[in-house]
Structure 1
Amino acid sequence: MPDIDMTVTANDGTPLAGTLTLPDSAGPHPAVLLLHGSGPLDRDGNTRRLPMNLGPSLAAALAAEGIATLRYDRRGADATPGTWRAAGFTGNRQDAADALLAVAAHPAVRPGAVAVVGHSEGALHAMALAARHDVRAVVLLAGYARPGEDALRWQARSIASSLPAPLRLLRRPLQAAGERALARIKQTRTDVARVAGLPINARWMREMLLHDTRDDLAAITAPVLAVTGAKDIQIDPADLDEIHRLVPGGAEVHRVPGLTHLLRQDPEHHTLRSYRRLLREPVDPGLLTLTATWLARRLDAAPHQTPAERRTTS
């Protein structure tokens, strides 16, 4: 399973440093563009405090099914230059579109056989790419079907309700503080602003709050697989029903028992405080298998075979 350094040149000239993982079998291969969640994430979906390690796990599962994977460092993360707080939501989407065109044009990739997989924020951009570009299939891991502000408010209520009982007593003052911060963000006009004394990616927030994913979902004609964990406290699992309703022809949806926003299973009571414990565990193998096998069928992928297996089937 060779990894190849691949740089995507964004439309403003920024080099997005990435990795193209190829199957061991002879190409050209179908391919997947992998889009991660929010923040200064590297190509593997990691920050120092939140090592998701989704990239290597999913790339290995896809390579075993004969599918290549491109993933890249966000602006201001690892080997990609820039400042992540100054990158807007629509700018992230444009970077994803540039990466999609780049992987589709790579000589190791089979023409017309490119899919998009997105997690969290990446799922929102995957919806947009599938609505606007020629993709063979799209996988949405923890994506929502509503305006961004509604999704943010649901997330705040969900996280608050998962807090220990003593902290839940502070729900009202915390909610009031959140409303003040939200109002301040909406009034900003700069890429980066200070809210409650902290620098935030204000342009990203303003654009995300206004973005309504339902428009993109209704414009997708490619096959869609949508997966959200039943224990996701950041994305409402009930949005799977709306995704299925909105996508023309319907989407295949899975609400996975025990699965969290981190794409790990949690058998215990799940809160934000569980994240550090869960990140010591691997990405859920069942999720990886579901994603890889579903994509293999849609992309007509040839799984990796050993020499003995090739002699048997030839």
Structure 2
Amino acid sequence: MKHLKWATLVVLFFTISTNSWSQSEKNVKVKTKYGKLYGNLITCDNKKNAPVVLIIPGSGPTDRNGNSVLLQTNSYKMLAEGLAKEGISSLRYDKLLVGESKGNITESEFRFDHNVEFAMAWIDFLTSKGFKNIVVLGHSEGSLIGMLAAQRKVVSKFISLAGTGRPADVVLIEQLTGQSSTIQAEVKRLFKHLKRGDQVEKLSPDLAALFRPSAQPYLISWIKYNPKVEIGNLEIPVLIVHGSTDIQVSEVDANMQKGGNFGSELVIIEGMNHILKVAPDDKEENTKTYFNPKLPLHPDLIPAIVGFVK
């Protein structure tokens, strides 16, 4: 495992970022059974078989740039641009029903596995464009999506960025630590039913939004997967990246992923939070970074990814 210190990589960061590459960026789309998905493809003028990174977004209504109605981070846009400066092509996309990606599926019909299908469709798209060295990068929830897609398609490498190493229900219960004992008990009861595939109609007002009946089928389809098991099914090079000040996903999860794939490389970036920015441990100050799209990525992130991809 590597612990990357900000100070030790400043020189490296500024050195490798001075490269100049010819590149183009265009809006692209793929057709799926449930609608058209749109994204941005940055193509760098590279040698044959040069890598392209497919950036799979995290949970919630997240667009290709890493933004939503509530959160403005520009994390994926900055990630793609940072890779382009190093001559690495990338594709990032709006999730279904977000941004340009219009769909004909209702929330109650939507399943976690649809996200995997969409990621696979983008892999097929890149293959059709002549890319032969496809690197799948999944952020947060996108990490598990990427693991599953990478098992079913021919790709070169996989990167888990701030992904969980435990089933989603375990992580969600942990994130509710600090809530009243009554709420925590109800959440555990709810997940016990969902684990069995049973929906729950009667909910307390505090949990009605998160566990609304129309969203429960998605949760049922999501919590059946164990990331530690799925990452172990990959037979390609794997990089696991985690930030030491991530207040959403614990370092325990990064170590769980590493434990599932012993041949993987684990990098802990000191002072990086869940949205890939420099942030302190303090929860309030950390959360403020989620609403400032001008903040740059943590300076150690791009070098860590570039070193693995190339």
State the TM-score, normalizing by the size of structure 2: 0.80
Question: Offset of 1:268 from its aligned partner?
Answer: 4.9
The match for 1:48 is 69
Mapping of residues 1-314 of structure 1, within 5 Å = 1-10=23-32, 12=33, 14-25=35-46, 29-82=50-103, 85=107, 86-107=109-130, 109=131, 111=132, 113-157=133-177, 160=178, 171-179=180-188, 181-182=190-191, 187-188=198-199, 196-198=207-209, 199=212, 201-247=215-261, 250-271=263-284, 274-280=286-292, 281-295=295-309, 297=310
Give the CA RMSD over aligned residues. Answer: 2.6
The match for 1:165 is none
Q: How far apart, in 2, do the equivalents of 1:292 and 1:84 lie?
A: 38
Structure 1 range deviating more: 238-247 or 55-64: 238-247
Name the amino acid aligned to 1:142: A
Would the aligned equivalents of 1:266 and 1:278 in 2 still touch at CA under 8 Å?
no
Question: Offset of 1:46 from its aligned partner?
Answer: 1.1
Would the aligned equivalents of 1:74 and 1:84 in 2 still touch at CA under 8 Å?
no
State the secondary structure of the residue aligned to 1:285. Answer: coil
Name the amino acid aligned to 2:102: P
Instruction: Sort the Cα spacing of 1:2 and 1:145 in 2 relative to 1 into closer, same or farther, 3 A.
Output: same
Q: Deviations over 1:104-138 (max 9, x none)?
A: 2214x3x2x11101100111111112223221111
- Structure 2 portions without partners, runs of 5+: 1-22
Question: Offset of 1:202 from its aligned partner?
Answer: 1.9
Q: How far apart, in 2, do the equivalents of 1:247 and 1:129 lie?
A: 17
- Aligned-pair identity in percent equals 26
Question: Offset of 1:219 from its aligned partner?
Answer: 1.3
Would the aligned equivalents of 1:15 and 1:80 in 2 still touch at CA under 8 Å?
yes
State the secondary structure of the residue aligned to 1:33. Answer: strand
Question: Offset of 1:245 from its aligned partner?
Answer: 2.7
Question: Offset of 1:79 from its aligned partner?
Answer: 0.7
Aligned residues: 276
State the secondary structure of the residue aligned to 1:262. Answer: coil
Instruction: Sort the Cα spacing of 1:51 and 1:131 in 2 relative to 1 into closer, same or farther, 3 A.
Output: same
Name the amino acid aligned to 1:90: D
Q: Deviations over 1:205-236 (max 9, x none)?
A: 11112111223211111111101112222222
Q: How far apart, in 2, do the equivalents of 1:196 and 1:148 lie?
A: 17
The match for 2:10 is none
Instruction: Sort the Cα spacing of 1:145 and 1:37 in 2 relative to 1 into closer, same or farther, 3 A.
Output: same
The match for 2:12 is none
The match for 1:303 is none
Name the amino acid aligned to 2:61: P
User: Runs of 4+ in structure 1 displaced over 6 angstroms?
Assistant: none
State the TM-score, normalizing by the size of structure 1: 0.79
- Structure 1 portions without partners, runs of 5+: 161-169, 298-314
Would the aligned equivalents of 1:128 and 1:216 in 2 still touch at CA under 8 Å?
yes
Name the amino acid aligned to 2:27: D
Q: Deviations over 1:70-99 (max 9, x none)?
A: 111111101111257342111111111111
Q: Deviations over 1:220-274 (max 9, x none)?
A: 11111101112222222123233223225x1110122222112122235125x73
Question: Offset of 1:29 from its aligned partner?
Answer: 4.0
Name the amino acid aligned to 1:40: P
